[in-house]
Amino acid sequence: MSEVLVRANGLGKAYPKAFRNRDRLRALWRLLFSQRATDSLAVLADVDLEVRRGESLGLIGANGAGKSTLLKLSTGVLTPTTGSVSVHGEIGALLELGAGFHLEHTGRDNITMTAALHGLGGAALRERLPQIIEFADIGRYIDEPVKHYSSGMVVRLGFAIVAVLRPDLLITDEVLAVGDEAFQKKCIKWMQDYLDGGGTLILVSHSMYHVQKLCQRACWLRDGRVEMIGDVFDVTQAYLAFQERKSGDAGGAAAARDHDVEFSLGEASINGHDAETPLLLDDGEPLIVRARVRSREGRVPVLMVGIVRVDGTPVYGVASDMDGYQPQRIGAHEFACELVFDALHLLPGTYLVRIHPLDPEGIRLFDTWERVVTVRGASRELGMVRLPHRWRDQDEVVR
């Protein structure tokens, strides 16, 4: 079993409420006399976490979820209100822009000071200084005060120092969100080499692509608590599904129905599943949609089935009349049909399956039924569907 570099037990952080002057005076009084605040605001609570040597963990969550607070507690920038956190090994931290840099000093001077804090100086520093300057690639600004740097240049300098020092544990907070594309690619390549060499990474990012690319595990923080922790694909897909449902205002609830209209849906199910809870599918698994339609006047309806991403982006739709199919009459005023997708090649994510009965002309829509379907799987492909493809060498084309 590999060594645990970071261990958090019941970790929490709270701040006293200080909206008014008297709140600040009360907080100061408690601080001076070691009294515990009873009206504090918790930004992190009950976090249990372990990161072992050689692992890579992505911290994800909405703004204000507690990600940066957790990093600051792990690096000793903040002290916990409850619980404990212990870190072993040398840490390289890239947190807030400019943190640890003296803004009045030049980039070269800041390299010297930061390296000294890591125990690197003298001949060892002189040997590595050209590598740091080359990695930062900020030209003549290396001898300018850091206060003249752009945000991207500050990140370049900080990352260059960490890249050359190669700490046991690298902790980064949205470092890939700053800087130009070329530098981001350089950072990602370095991180991959660092991880391949046994390095340990804790990465905060809103880019699920980067989290999936660089991390083995992920921890989703929601309102200061751990919502889910585990395999990076399982956690990021659950997080994206939550965000998509939230933005699409969808939760599987069907539209309000008036069963006295000309056509209305009776029973409906997906793979025999008719509950409100989301249906979980694996890539390539069949999708079977069954529906019964009530026809007030006994006319044969047209049934339409659509698949959309939960943010409303259409994926696929088909109607029975497009394929020359008529729902089966099972009563004077009731019809049934079944639509089968033998293999559903949707990329991992969350979707809505919708069923609509239309008039025999396929023009007017009368009712809607929808359910959430989550496709599971580990994939970094982009888009919504998996298209059959293959790679080949140029000499195959010639042959």
CATH T-level assignment (fold) for domain 263-376: Coagulation Factor XIII; Chain A, domain 1 (2.70.50)
Length of the chain: 399
CATH 3.40.50.300 domain position(s) in the chain: 4-12+45-246
- Model pLDDT for residues 246-283, shown as the tens digit of each residue: 665 444 444 444 556 788 998 899 999 887 667 888 88
The reported pLDDT for the residue numbered 207 is 80
Determine the average pLDDT of the residues in 78-97: 86
Least confident range of 50-59, 68-77, 243-252: 243-252
pLDDT digits (tens, 9 = 90+) for 98-121: 667 888 999 999 898 888 877 777
Contacts of 5 (CB under 8 A, 6+ apart): 51, 52, 53, 87, 88, 89, 168, 169, 200
| Mean pLDDT of all residues in 149-154 | 86
Contact by Cβ (8 Å): 374, 236: no
Task: Map residue 164 onto helix, strand or coil.
Answer: helix
| pLDDT (tens digit per residue) in 348-374 | 888 889 999 988 888 778 888 888 888
**CA separation (Å) from 321 to 2, 358, 363?**
61, 10, 11
**Where in the chain do CATH 2.70.50.60 domains reside?**
263-376
Average pLDDT, the chain: 84
Q: How confident is the model at residue 288 (pLDDT cuts 50, 70, 90)?
A: very high
Q: Please check whether residue 189 is in contact with residue 196, taking contact to mean a CB–CB distance below 8 angstroms.
A: no
Question: 3.20.20.140, 3.60.20.40, 3.40.50.300, 3.40.50.970: which CATH number matches 4-12+45-246?
Answer: 3.40.50.300
Taking residues 332-343, what's their average pLDDT? 94
